[in-house]
Structure formats: C-alpha cells, structure tokens
Chains A and B, each alone.
Chain A
Amino acid sequence: MAQARLARREHLTGWAFIAPALILLGLFMIYPIVWSLWMSFQVGKGMNLSFGGFANIERLTKDPVFLRALGNTFTFFIIQVPIMITLALLFAVALNDATLRFRGLFRTAIFLPCVASLIAYSTLFKSMFANDGVVNQALMALHVIGGPIAWFSDPFWAKVVVILAITWRWTGYNMVFYLAALQNIDRSIYEAARIDGVPAWARFRYLTIPMLKPVILFTTVISTIGTLQLFDEVYNFTAGTGGPSDSTLTLSLYIYNLTFKFMPSFGYSATVSWVIVVVVGILSLIQFLIARDRRSS
C-alpha cells in the first residue's frame, strides 16, 4: 500500500533505534535468565548436568545453609528497610523547611555516603568496628557499653553492623527522592490548609504522606530489591564467608559461593537465584497492593 510508505518507514526507524539495546539485552540478560531457569532443573557437579526435575527445589527445603541465608536476608530486609525509610522521610521533612539554616550543608552531608562505593565504605566500617576500634572506644567513653563489643565475631552484632552499614550508605539516597517530591508539592496547598486551620501534624499526615506515597512506594521497592541482592558489603566484611557461623550469609553470597567457591553446582545455585526472583516479585506485588489499597479506602 503506497499510502503507508511514510508510516512504514517510521515504524522501521523505531526498531532501528532500539535494536542495539535489544540485541545486547537479549544476549546478556534474557538469554542468561532463561538459561538459569532451565539450569535450575538440572542436577550434577560442574558441567556434568542432567535433568533432575524438582530435585533442586527439594534440596532447598533440606539445605540448612540456604534456610540460614534466606532467614538472614529477611532479617536484614524487615529491620533495615523500615528504619531507613523512616529516617529518610524525617530528614527530608526537616530539611524541606525553608527557614532552616545550613540546609545545604546538612543535605550535602547526609547525602555524602552515596558517593562511597560499596566496597570502600564496607572497608571503612570494617576498620571502624574493629574490637578495639573507634566505635567501641567512643561507646565506652560515653558509657553506653562497659566493655568492647565483638562486632564481627558475635553472630548478633555482626548482623547489627551490616544493618548499620546499609542504613548509613542509603538513607541520604532515599532522602533525596523525598526532598525532590516535597519540593514538587505546590506550596499553596499548605497555605490553603493553614488558612483552613489544619494543624501541623494533620498537614503532615493528610497532605504530605499521601502526596509522597508514590515516591515512598518506589523507594521501598528499590530498597527491597537492593537488600535482597546484598552482596558486596557482607563479602567484604567476612572475606566471602558470611560468618561468623553463617550469620551474615545472604542469598547472593551463597549463590556466589555455590558457584565459584565450592565444587560448582550450577543447577542448584540457579535454583537459589530464582528464589530471589520469586521473593522480589512477591514483595513488590504486596507493596504495590498495599499502596493501592490505602489509596482506595
């Protein structure tokens, strides 16, 4: 049809623009993902794989190390994400006050941790949380603790360091999103509310929070994915072991170890990686549903 010549050319041009990206994504993302899905049904060591059906899934349920890693990941996620989101929101609202002095300074300072690479900051934390290190010294000087805490050799405190570290690194990042969203809110909405006699807490509860909801949801999803993929920090803290006694072993670290540390077990490690995919999917869905539910009610 001659009529459609221009239309067809435009259509082809559209494909031309996205083709390089699609080819690369297909090759280095979609193909590996599909392959790993297929792998997750294979059993065997090294490259000697054979079809095992649901054998890997069965193995998951009986693998104490996997269950440990899953539990650790959940602990990090459930405790860390809410703390960080709350802190970020708090800082953002405080810094959004135009009458506050040194706003720029505070903002830059709190954002600064984002500049450090995951490896760099985990190195810093490892040295700061040494047994006689600066953190213990400071806490003892302030009489918060009597004796030094064995941060990296106690399973409980090791987890605490990980949570503190992630919170340090990412709070400023999330805060910036909230600040940007707050600045996009039309000021006259607040002025109208004040003239209507709405008290400050109610302005926060009924104006700020609902208007920030999309951003809060977005950052929660991002943080969830990030926490479930936790690797660099724990690897660096523990030289790849996830110790002490697997107390900081995360799913990603376990997959890495299954593949590259022990006798490679590609099929099983692929199965573990798909656990993350499924968990991320479920959690994102739940968060999305919660956000939608609150909106409708």
Chain B
Amino acid sequence: MSDAAFICELVVMSGKGGTGKTSVTASLAVLAGSAVLADCDVDASNLPLVLDPREQRRETFTGGVRARIRREDCTACGQCKALCRFDAIFFDGPGHGRLPHTYRVDSAACEGCGVCHDVCPEHAIDLEPTEGGEWFVSETRFGPLLHARLRPGHGNSGRLVTLVRDQARQVAEAAGRRLILVDGPPGIGCPVIASLTGATRVLAVTEPTPSGEHDLERLLALARHFSIPAWVCVNKHDLNADMTLQIERRAAALGATVTERIPYDPAVTAAQRRGRPVVDVDHGPAAAAIRKLWERVRPFLADPPGPQLDTGRPAG
C-alpha cells in the first residue's frame, strides 16, 4: 500500500504554440513504450496525427448548460437582460401572437450561470445541457491514447481536459501502466490550468525567440503557482545561441530544471508529414537529442517528486 499505486503524469507544455511540443510528446511516447497518452489540446488535437490511432471508443461530451428562452412563454419583461452580466441576452428574438419581439440568448456568450433562469417570472427560461464535443479512447503502437475534440467555437475546454485526464488515469490504473504522457494546450488559461492541476511534472518545450521566452516565463509562473516541478527544453536551440542561453538562465532562476536542447532539424517536419514520431523514423540530430532528453528525465518518473523540490506531495 505504498508506491505500487504511484502513477506519474508528465505534462508537456509550451506557453507559446508551435514550439514542437507535440513532436516531442509523440517521440517520448515511442521511447517510453508503455505509457498512456493523453492529448489535452482539445481544441486543436494534433497528437493523433502522428500516432496512427485506431479508435476503440467514442463518447459525447456534455459541456455544461446554456440558457434558452421559450419564446411562446416570454412576456418581454426584460428582467433576464437586466441581470445578465455576460451581455448574452438580446431583444431580437422572434415574436409571437402577443408580441413583436421576444428576448433571445446568444449561446456563445452565455456562461450558464442560471441567473436568468432563476429570475424569470414566467419560468420561460430553460437551462439546457450543450453538446460540447467528443472524446475518444484509441489504441496506438505505443500505448492507449485518450484524445478529444471540442466542438469548434465551444467553451468549457477546461472541463473536457479534466475528463480526458481522468480517463487516462483510469486506463493507466486498469492496465497497470505507471506513466501518463500528456500533450498540453498552449497558453496559460483555463485548459492549461486544467492540464496542470494534479499533474506530477511539467516538461516545458520552448524556442529561442522573444515570444518563446516571454510565454515560458508565464508558464513557469503558473507551474510554481501549482507547486509542480518543471523541466525546460529549448527546441531549435541553434536558431539563436544567445537567446537559448538567456532562456535557460531565466528558467533556472525561476526554479525550473534546464534539460537537453534539441537542434533545428527538418527531419522533424518530414516525420510529421509521414504521420510518424521523429524518433520512430529518423536517427538525425533532433531524434538523437530527444533520446538523450528521455534518458535524462526517465529516472525521475518512477517516484513522486521528493520534498527537496517542495512539491507538497506525500512522500509515499
């Protein structure tokens, strides 16, 4: 009843998009061999494009509630609009026998707080569950893959991310797999927070550009906010040697551990075009660097982070 149940959840993040996060995650999946994989970039899921998944299970995702006004019961009193804080109610709904116009909810702006539903004297407002997207369990050559597709333009991606991670954990527990590799979303907002909450470690993949540095700083601030130890890997480091050094120094100052650099290598995009992880098809400089990266992080994935990292996690 101790470490036997420990499952390490390594989240690959970037802050800025397009730094090579997904290519690195896919390659780590190959090298790990027996991980459970989770793509938490639910509004633009790319990991499946290089892992050749065979779908085993597909489920719909109910993304919270949205208000809807039953126009035949609306008396146009306007209380809903007066109290809505999200500018989601408009007086341009279709009319009926007694009124030329009724109130209407813009479901893209509605956050589902239910205030209008609660105040409507006619009880003419329903809160309806919305179909927010789909999630999948797939099989790949490198392990089970959990992924999802948020309905384009739909909110609540944080909850879908939480769902994907919960499912990944269940799959890992059921299959006795002890590593979950998560391909995280870009940014630092709601889906990123949902990807980090409860994760074991973060691998931040960045690039030597001002945006890469700036966004990494914001991401590391968030990792610290959540007390999750972070590794930093500069991808395409040879594009700008000075900037690479600057970023690595900055990352270390922010409490992250600097790890292997990955050089710019056209083989990465070439592998992506073939729909394969780069280490699976190539032995060039980038693939070699990712192998070294894996060897460096692997010893730390078997156990919970120690107290010296101030992670606040029970030591077993």
Please indicate whether A and B come from the same complex rather than being unrelated chains.
Answer: no
Residues of B within 8 A of A (CB): none
